Amino acid sequence: MTIGDFVFLSNYYMTKKERYERVIDWFDKNMPVVDTELHYDSPFHLLIAVILSAQCTDKRVNMVTPALFEAFPTPEVLAVSSPDDVYEYIKSISYPNNKAKNLVGMAKKVMADFNGQIPDTLEELESIPGVGRKTANVMLIVAFNKPAMPVDTHVFRVSNRIGLTDNSKKPAQTERELIKYIPSRYLSKAHHWLILHGRYVCLARKPKCEECGLTPFCKYFTNKQ
C-alpha cells in the first residue's frame, strides 16, 4: 500500500468527530488570528457594513463605507435621513435602493426600540429591517463576541465539500450541524476560517486543492482521486 492509498483510506473511513477535530486543529495552527474583512469603528457602522455586504463583496463595501460613515455617524443622523440621501453613497453596491431603505429603517428601529444602541441578542437583531439570521449572527460574533455560526455561501459550500455537513440543503441545517460539532470557544473563529477558506482557496468553480492544507481531511478531495 502506498502512502497515497493510506491517506485515501484514512480520510474515507474518518468519523465526523475526527474530521472536525483535524480541521479545527489545522485552522487553529495555521490561522490563529482571524477577523472580518469589513471595516468599521462601532457596532452601528458594522451593522451598516454587514447589511451592505449581502450579495456584494467586502472589498466593494469597504470602498463606499468611509464616506457613508462620515455622513451618517450615528443612528440619530441616519434615522432622520431619506433613502434617497443614503442611495447617493451606496449606488455602486448591489441592490442599492432596497439597502438604502433598509438602512434608514434600521436606524429608525434602533432609535425607537433600543434607545440608539445596537441590541446584542439574536431575537432583537432579527426584528430590525434588513437584518436576517445570518446578519444577526455576524453581529453577535464580531460586535459582541458571542458564540454563533453565521452561514453565508462560503460557509455553506466549504462545509459540504470538506464533509463537516452531510450535504445539507439549507443554511439552517448547516448552522445546526456546525454548532453541534464545533466547541463554542471556536465558533466565531470557525466562521471566519470557513469564509476565508472559501473566498481564497476553496473557490466555487475551481477549488485550489493543490494549495489546500485540508486535503488529508477533505471528502471532496478524496472523492475526486
Over residues 139-172, the pLDDT tens digits come to 999 999 999 999 999 999 999 999 999 888 899 9
Check whether residue 14 and residue 104 sit in a common domain.
no
209 known ligand binder = yes
Q: pTM, whole model, 2 decimals? A: 0.89
For residue 219, indicate whether it is catalytic.
Answer: no
- pLDDT(1) > 50: no
Asked if residue 38 belongs to a domain, the reply is no
pLDDT digits (tens, 9 = 90+) for 84-141: 999 999 999 999 999 999 999 999 999 999 999 999 999 999 999 999 999 999 999 9
Check whether residue 130 and residue 153 sit in a common domain.
no
The single-letter DSSP state of residue 74 is S
Which listed residue (16, 35, 85, 134) is catalytic?
134
Check whether residue 68 and residue 131 sit in a common domain.
yes
Which listed residue (109, 152, 189, 219) is catalytic?
152
Check whether residue 154 and residue 207 sit in a common domain.
yes
Helix ranges (DSSP H) in the chain:
3-12, 16-30, 43-52, 58-71, 75-79, 83-90, 96-114, 122-126, 133-142, 153-162, 171-181, 187-200, 219-223
Instruction: Check which CATH number belongs to the domain holding 183 and give it.
Output: 1.10.1670.10
56 known ligand binder = no
For residue 134, indicate whether it is catalytic.
Answer: yes
Grid look-up 425607537 returns: 112
- pLDDT(3) > 80: no
